[in-house]
Amino acid sequence: MADMTPQEIDAFLAEVRLCHFATIDPSGHPRVRPMWYVWRDRELWTSTRLHRYTGTDVTAGSSVAISIASEDRPYKAVIIHGRPEILPKTEERLLEISTRYGERMGRAWTAEVMQEDDRVLYRVTPDRIYSWDYAKDD
């Protein structure tokens, strides 16, 4: 299997898929959950609530590993390692993330989560990117 080029990674991550977001919980066990994301300027943006689930892990200092894969052949996958920067939410960025998955649903979701006190944005600048493109194999 072959790596993707940075341009191919950009194109793959622009497609609409969930990412699977892994952290380490305070007791030292892994956690992982599916999340919406948007990839902009080689940074991955996603959103969560600080006091729930993986949010508490990131606040406690966990780095993250994020997996995005095509379900259909030829398989492609991108895995990103990094440490999220926790930023205040903005309606603009939440819409950018959510409306990728459907305009109407994204707008409804954004209106709802803008009311959540502990809703934040994560900006993940990759420390390391792994990629596979099985279509490149002979």
Least distance in Å: CB of 42 to a second copy? 20
Site for a second copy contains 58 (CB under 8 A): no
Q: Which residues pair with 129 in a beta bridge?
A: 80
- Binding segment toward a second copy, per CB under 8 A, in 2-10, 77-85, 89-97, 118-126: 77-85
Among residues 13, 25, 19, 37, which one has the least CA distance to residue 96? 37
Question: Closest CB to a second copy among 3 and 90?
Answer: 3
- Burial environment of residue 91 by CB neighbours within 10 A (0 to 12, 13 to 18, 19 or more): exposed
Which of 62, 98, 110, 131: binder of a second copy (CB under 8 A)? 62
Which residues, numbered 25-44, are part of the site for a second copy (CB under 8 A)?
Answer: 28-34
Which of 105, 108, 111, 135: binder of a second copy (CB under 8 A)? 105
Least distance in Å: CB of 73 to a second copy? 7
Element housing 91 (H / E):
helix 91-98
Give the whole-angstrom CA distance, residue 46 versus residue 110.
Answer: 13
Give the whole-angstrom CA distance, residue 121 versus residue 62.
Answer: 16
DSSP symbol at 75: P
- HSE-up of residue 40 (Cα within 13 Å, Cβ side): 11
Least distance in Å: CB of 95 to a second copy? 18
Which positions touch a second copy (CB under 8 A)? 16-18, 20, 22-24, 28-34, 62-67, 69, 71, 73, 75, 77, 79, 81, 101-102, 105
